Each structure stands twice: as structure tokens, then as C-alpha cells.
Amino acid sequence: MVVTRVIAAPGNVVWRVFTDLVDRPRWLSEVDSVELLSMAGEQTRWRETRRVRSGRSVRPVAEELVLTVRERGRHCVVSLAHGQSNELSYLFTPVQIGPHRGATTVTATVIGTPPHGLADRLLNFVVGGLAARTAEGAVRDELDALAAACLTRTSAAA
């Protein structure tokens, strides 16, 4: 699954907002808190608590995540710290021509491990489309929130 969003801010602003993990609760509404656990070279580990809807109730869920910088200012990957079956790759590309010149295109790609057994493949076939649409909506919402945060930062700097 791939989701792309043009953000009306320069790449350095988008990168800074995205990788400022402590500030995530300020711009990503479902994130309640972030606790930095370690920063080692190009890898940062943190615990993020989000509000997750389950039926009619909302409950907090904490996950330990890892952000690995592949190319500073351009590409990073976020994955679960334990049992890394899925990764979310983010690519930040400056827009150099056209009406969005000076903006940044952010491409988020969900990379998952394919199911192994027959039961896993059957379950993936039955609910995979729904899960993909739900995940796609969540990634779109995150990129929209990132765009709004970058706009706020850009406006404050002007």
C-alpha cells in the first residue's frame, strides 16, 4: 500500500516536524504521549501511547517503535520494535517544478510480511482489503496532520 501527499513546506521543515518524536502528540491527535527510549546513530527507539477505538470504547495502546534513518532528510523507516512484520517507509521528495514548486512530496509505503500458511492466506484474502483500506485511511490522516503541522511551522517562521 502506498499513500502520497504533497505538503506545502520545504523538505527540511517536513523532515524536522516528522522526526521530532517528542512533538508528535502536539500534531498527531490520536497520540497521547511519546517516551524516547534510545537514540543510537541513525536509529531512534520510542514508546508511543495512542488512543485506539475498539467498538464503542476508546482505550490507550502503547507500542515500542523504531525510526531508522536510511538517508537523512530524504528517507526513513518506522517499524515495531518487537516482531517486525510490518514497516512503514517514508520518502521525502522536494517538488522542483510546477505549481507546487518548493513543496515536498511525502510517500508512505507499508511493507508487510506476506502470510505463510493456508489459514493466514485465506484470512488475508477475506479481510485483507478491509484492513488495507483502514490502514490507508490512517496513513492519509497522519500525512494530513503532518501537512497541517508543517503549515503552522512555516507560518510561524514567516
* The pLDDT of residue 58: 82
What is the Cα–Cα distance from 124 to 128, expressed in whole angstroms?
4
What is the Cα–Cα distance from 32 to 22, expressed in whole angstroms?
11
* The pLDDT of residue 134: 72
Q: What is the pLDDT of residues 77-95, one digit of tens each?
A: 999 887 656 789 999 999 9
pLDDT at 158 over 50: yes
* The pLDDT of residue 1: 84
Q: What is the pLDDT of residues 104-125, one digit of tens each?
A: 999 999 887 655 555 544 444 4
pTM of the model: 0.83
Cell triple for residue 47? 514508546
Q: Which residue has the cell 518548493?
A: 102
Give mean pLDDT, residues 8-25: 95
Say what percent of the chain tops pLDDT 70. Answer: 84
Domains, the chain? 2-157 (3.30.530.20)
Q: Which of 150, 140, 158, 157 is nearest to 7 (CA)?
A: 150
Lowest-pLDDT range, 31-40, 105-114, 126-135? Answer: 126-135
Cell triple for residue 136? 490507508
Beta strands 86-94 and 43-54 are unpaired
Tell me the CA end-to-end span of the chain in Å, nearest whole number: 36
CA distances (Å), origin 89, targets 118, 119, 127: 28, 28, 23
DSSP line for 1-65: -EEEEEESS-HHHHHHHHH-GGGHHHH-TTEEEEEEEEEETTEEEEEEEEEEEETTEEEEEEEEE
